[in-house]
Structure 1
């Protein structure tokens, strides 16, 4: 019995050591706020890594991180160190328009305005091609299979990352009805939150909500312009309190690359470009004329001064 008790005591002490090691507050990246560290492995050393683009680079966070790695990280993202967006990601820069819809509420592949200008959209209704005339062709409606919801924290409350991530997933499931299997959440530093909604056409089951609809509703909620009934308040409950978020930006990635170029400009855009070019040319002409006139005046003034000096000397 004593031997069994000793074994139990030893096992308890081992568990205590492992828990203490995993919760060691000293295991953090001192030299970069986005460094991820832990000491829950076989070694008791604090292991740290820094995301550089799609890769993760092992770093020593007790020393300054080499400048080359830091510059590489910034060049792949932004000066703020925000997450790199997919090359084919689209933002809805065209704003609100009056769309043509199918009988089931899906966007028609081709959209036009009242000036006979047409373009092609994805399943999120976001333009994915150049604009053309009424003869513009859109052979298919390309599916948006990845929606990225970027937002900022609205407060500086210190909460556990895992608790916040689960709260976001629970909110999306309960409020929008999107199964958790389509949702992943990434926290970046103390400012940015990224929610990835991924759903291929083959994954979406009949009757399931579409990720593009979730993205639209969520953007409205975060901006304080909800589409739900006033009684249905938008809340991200963390430890019983509402966790505030703000400034949403929505990115759309399609199953096929977008086709937006500068080859097909609408007459309105061409007119604007022509006006700007003419204005610049006119400004340059005025500057040249003014400088020449000023130069001639200065030469005439010098000539008169020289003649006056000759008369005085004689």
Structure 2
């Protein structure tokens, strides 16, 4: 009987171990780029891929950690914008994050460094490693601009506003007071998210994180584990052709002429050359006209002397 009792106890122990392991594991619905998920005081905690920093699965993961996880995996008619609004022209990079998940103010790629805002977007020219970034400048206004595909009829503006307001508040857990505007100017949809540093409270989601989750959703690369965004207005699927995000910081960005794209520089050069050419033509025309007037006066004087002779 003893061998049978021992075998039964062993099976019971294995069963309990498996059951406990199953109970202690969990799925992070808010972020699929995580590992080592476990239950801690009824909450699901996981380690972010690429940094191993612990994240909570009942809220959005900070954008810096999401970008780091993505970079780790990758190694295998519109309204006028504010004058200081700028786009993310650098795309994905492997960021340095604080333990809180926030971006470090200074980011580097080898010996090339630059300063970023709280959205992780470059706000200065690129310099060498001696660059000083004294503070992490807060992004206080994010403008999400989308263009939908050609339609037979415009969308219902009120339905569209309700859909995006409810989606951002419920899906991304952003307090509705930070969704300041949803504007529809066929075929453009513009969403304004505003959140000052004094508005950002501990434990609350950041508009930069919301914008990153949202952009991934509408571009078909959702960060959520399995909950894809049903993008439809009045039960009609909405097809987007383009999505662009603009950032406005508390302090204006510090770009120089060197940061302009070659295309824009070429346009500026052409315009300058055209202006110089116009000035040269004007000066030459005036000189020729002056010589013609002088010659005409001289001929008149000679004729006058001839008549008097």
Change in CA separation of 1:262 and 1:155 when aligned onto 2, cut-off 3 Å: closer
What are the superposed Cα offsets for residues 89-143 of structure 1, whole Å, 9 maximum, x if unpaired? 11111121111110001000001112x1111000011111111111110000000
- Which residue in 2 is equivalent to 1:208? 204
Runs (4 or more) in structure 1 with deviation over 4 Å come to: none
Confirm or deny: 8 A CA contact 1:222 1:246 kept in the other structure.
Answer: no
1:245 is aligned, of 240, 245, 251, to 240
Cα displacement (A) at 1:205 = 1.9
The aligned counterpart of 2:108 is 112
Alignment of 1:52-63 (within 5 A): none
Q: Cα distance 1:264–1:199, how it changes in 2: closer, same or farther (>3 A)?
A: closer
* Corresponding residue number in structure 2 for 1:260: 255
Q: Normalising by structure 1, what TM-score? A: 0.55
Distance change (3 Å), C-alpha of 1:82 and 1:237: closer
Q: 1:263 Cα deviation (Å)? A: 6.1
Counterpart of 1:132 (choices 127, 130, 135) is 127
State the 1:242 CA deviation: 3.9
Aligned partners of 1:102 and 1:108 also within 8 Å:
yes
Q: Whose relative contact order is higher, 1 or 2, with alpha carbons under 8 Å and at least 6 apart?
A: 2
- Tell me what 1:220 maps to: 216
Q: For structure 2, which runs of at least 5 residues remain unmatched after alignment?
A: 1-76, 266-309
Structure 1 CA distance, aligned partners of 2:258 and 2:240?
39
Q: CA 1:245 to 1:264, structure 2 compared with 1: closer, same or farther past 3 Å?
A: closer
Matched, 1:97 2:107: no
What is the alpha-carbon distance in structure 1 between the residues aligned to residue 235 and residue 242 of structure 2? 23
Deviations 1:153-174 (A, max 9, x none): 2462544211210111001111
Cα deviations by residue, 1:38-79 (Å, 9 ceiling, x for unpaired): xxxxxxxxxxxxxxxxxxxxxxxxxxxxxxxxxxxxxxxxxx
Shift of 1:176: 0.7
CA–CA distance in structure 1, aligned partners of residues 180 and 188 of structure 2:
14
Deviates more, 1:99-108 or 1:177-186: 177-186
Q: Deviations over 1:277-309 (max 9, x none)?
A: xxxxxxxxxxxxxxxxxxxxxxxxxxxxxxxxx
* 8 Å Cα contact 1:132/1:264 also seen in 2: no
CA gap 1:264/1:159 in 2 versus in 1, 3 angstroms: closer
1:18-97 equivalent positions in 2, closer than 5 A: 81-97=77-93
Alignment length, in residue pairs?
185
**Distance of 1:119 and 1:97 partners within structure 2:** 12
Q: Indicate conservation of the 8 Å contact 1:100/1:111, yes or no.
A: yes
> Aligned to 1:220, what secondary structure does the other structure show?
helix
RMSD, matched Cα:
2.2
SS in structure 2 at match of 1:165: helix
Cα distance in 2 between the residues matched to 1:180 and 1:237: 20
TM-superposed deviation, 1:241:
4.0
> What SS does the corresponding residue of 2:168 show, helix, strand or coil?
helix
In the alignment, is the contact (CA less than 8 A) between 1:185 and 1:193 conserved in 2? no
Query: 1 CA distance for matches of 2:154 and 2:257?
Result: 46
1:209 deviation in Å? 0.6
TM-score (norm 2): 0.56
Q: Structure 1 regions of 5+ residues with no counterpart?
A: 1-80, 274-314
The aligned residue for residue 177 of structure 1 is 173
Other structure's SS at 2:144 match: strand
